[in-house]
Amino acid sequence: GESVGLHLPTLSVQEGDNSIINCAYSNSASDYFIWYKQESGKGPQFIIDIRSNMDKRQGQRVTVLLNKTVKHLSLQIAATQPGDSAVYFCAEDRATGNQFYFGTGTSLTVIP
Amino acid sequence: ETGVTQSPTHLIKTRGQQVTLRCSSQSGHNTVSWYQQALGQGPQFIFQYYREEENGRGNFPPRFSGLQFPNYSSELNVNALELDDSALYLCASSQSGRAETQYFGPGTRLLVL
């Protein structure tokens, strides 16, 4: 079946380095994608989104890249900080009602 | 902290029982979505309520049902609990389902024995 998935379950980076978290999706009809951050004991927090008519979108220290040809999404975090340690999920909107489907997640650990 | 609250925070039930989880949406939000998050997994969409009507459903059996009230708060009901229902149940409120306005609550952790 169609699904949203992540390449790597865990990622460790040194404080100050850039982080890249990847996500593959298989539903070619999905046209809206979101990255969420989930800290321990909390619900997911919206980070950044991108529509399928865009290839790149930048926020504060974060950039999302979308490659529709290979159905791949990535989240880049610049100058990673200890507070960035969390699980990151990509999610896709498969229906018109903004019903989001999440991937498995990548756990990011920032080493001081 | 978001303005979305959930109760209870933790719950233990036995197989076959029924459970009701509650969610208070953020002020100004008219849409509530419910998700099930198993340990080590991403949240899985259960259903969404918009202005008191179900507005989409994921791949969950009918024993998962919900309600939305005039003040846009919501309940998730699960009948005939199974061991695999043990999970963190998250609700998220938004303005008309817009992702950039979607705020998640802290969740209710349900353990079914």
Q: Please check the confidence at residue B55 and state whether its pLDDT lies above 60.
A: yes
% of chain B beyond a pLDDT of 90: 77
Test B58 with A91 for CB contact under 8 angstroms: no
Mean of the per-residue pLDDT values for chain A? 88
Q: What is the distance in angstroms between the Cα of A84 and the nearest Cα belonging to chain B?
A: 17
Judged by a CB distance cut-off of 8 A, whether residue A84 touches chain B is: no
- CA-nearest of A108, A86, A109 to A39 is A86
pLDDT computed for residue A105 by the predictor:
92
Test B106 with A101 for CB contact under 8 angstroms: no
Q: Could you give the 3-state DSSP secondary structure of residue B83? A: helix
Nearest to A44 among B43, B45, B97 (CB): B43
Among the ranges given (A24-28, A40-44, A99-103, B98-102), the one the predictor scored with the smallest mean pLDDT: B98-102
DSSP labels for A18-87? -EEEEEEE--TT--EEEEEEE-TTS--EEEEEEETT-SEEE-SSEEEEEETTTTEEEEEESS--GGG-EE
Q: What is the distance in angstroms between the Cα of B45 and the nearest Cα belonging to chain A?
A: 6
Mean of the per-residue pLDDT values for chain B? 93
pLDDT computed for residue A5 by the predictor:
52
Q: How far apart are CA A44 and CA A86, in angstroms?
A: 10
Contact in structure between A68 and A17 (CB atoms under 8 Å) = no
pLDDT computed for residue A3 by the predictor:
45
pLDDT computed for residue B37 by the predictor:
95
B29-48 pLDDT, tens digit per residue, is 899 999 999 988 999 999 99
A78-104 pLDDT, tens digit per residue, is 999 999 999 999 999 876 556 788 888
pLDDT computed for residue A26 by the predictor:
79
Judged by a CB distance cut-off of 8 A, whether residue A34 touches chain B is: yes
Contact in structure between B105 and A44 (CB atoms under 8 Å) = no
Q: Which residue does chain B place closest to A100, by CA atoms?
A: B45
Test B33 with A102 for CB contact under 8 angstroms: no
Test A105 with B97 for CB contact under 8 angstroms: no
Tell me which chain B residues have a C-beta less than 8 angstroms from the C-beta of A49. 99-100
Q: How far apart are CA B112 and CA B39, in angstroms?
A: 14
Tell me which chain A residues have a C-beta less than 8 angstroms from the C-beta of B44. 101-102
Query: Residues B78-93: what's their mean pLDDT?
Result: 97
Q: Please check the confidence at residue A37 and state whether its pLDDT lies above 90.
A: yes
Question: What's the one-letter identity of residue A69?
Answer: T
Nearest to A42 among B42, B92, B106 (CB): B106
Confidence of residue A6 (pLDDT cuts 50, 70, 90): very low
Test A43 with B55 for CB contact under 8 angstroms: no
